[in-house]
Amino acid sequence: MNSDQINYLLQGAYGTLLLSVLTFVFASMLGLVIALMRVSDNTLVRQTAFGYINIIQGTPLLVLMGVCFYGPSILGYSSVPALFAAVLALTVQSSAFLGEIWRGCIESVPQNQWEAAECLGLNRVQRMFKVILPQALRIATPPTVGFMVQIVKNTSFASLVIGFAELSYNAKILNNATFKPFLYFGVAAVLYFIICYPLSWMSLRLERKLTLARS
């Protein structure tokens, strides 16, 4: 493997990393909104979020990528940047899953915590943000990090429809040219691991810090 090829793989890794980080940020924001909508008092709000989650969870990521890349042309836009389309598709898909995970975590906080907060006079927003969400955060850490790793792996779909240069695509290109699959896919696997490992490590630290705060 020469230095050009190593560079090519590293560029792919950069693409993967970029997609992952942008998706984490936007999907977290949207996922939190979805989760809060799912536990709302308002029936219409709850049903809307429920509908969104069901439709998106049932749609393959490949199809979402296609919609996000080719869809805007129906509305009159001539072209869409590959990065924008990929992040949009990944964000929409991830927010549906994260929203459900977080709804489950919010509902895991014991009911009497809601009651105690209510009896002190806190309004619904104060109860949610000062009492319930901090406790839900601790419960949410393992499944959220598990899903974050899933996001990193899902970025490989970006190359299939949209042609965004990320790690698995670049590895595939090199393999097509050199017919050394174990070498290039092997190195790609190691690079994926290097991207994912800090997530697991941060999750462990976050869990320890949140436990420490309680004891």
Please list every residue from 117 through 156 that binds other proteins, using CB under 8 A: 117-123, 126, 130-131, 134-135, 138
Residue 141 near residue 208 (C-beta atoms within 8 A): no
Can residue 113 be called a binding residue for other proteins (CB under 8 A)?
A: yes
Minimum separation from the CB atom of position 135 to other proteins (A): 6
Tokens of 143: 């499944």
C-alpha distances (whole Å) from 43 to each of 24, 49, 51, 78, 128 are: 29, 10, 12, 39, 18
Minimum separation from the CB atom of position 184 to other proteins (A): 47
- Print the binding letters for residues 16-55 with other proteins: x by CB under 8 A, - otherwise: ----------------------------------------
CA distance 207 to 137: 9
Q: Which range in 66-74, 99-107, 115-123, 181-189 contacts other proteins by CB under 8 A? A: 115-123
Residue 5 near residue 73 (C-beta atoms within 8 A): no
Residues in the chain, overall count = 215
Which residues sit at the interface with other proteins, rule CB under 8 A?
112-113, 115-123, 126, 130-131, 134-135, 138, 210, 213-215
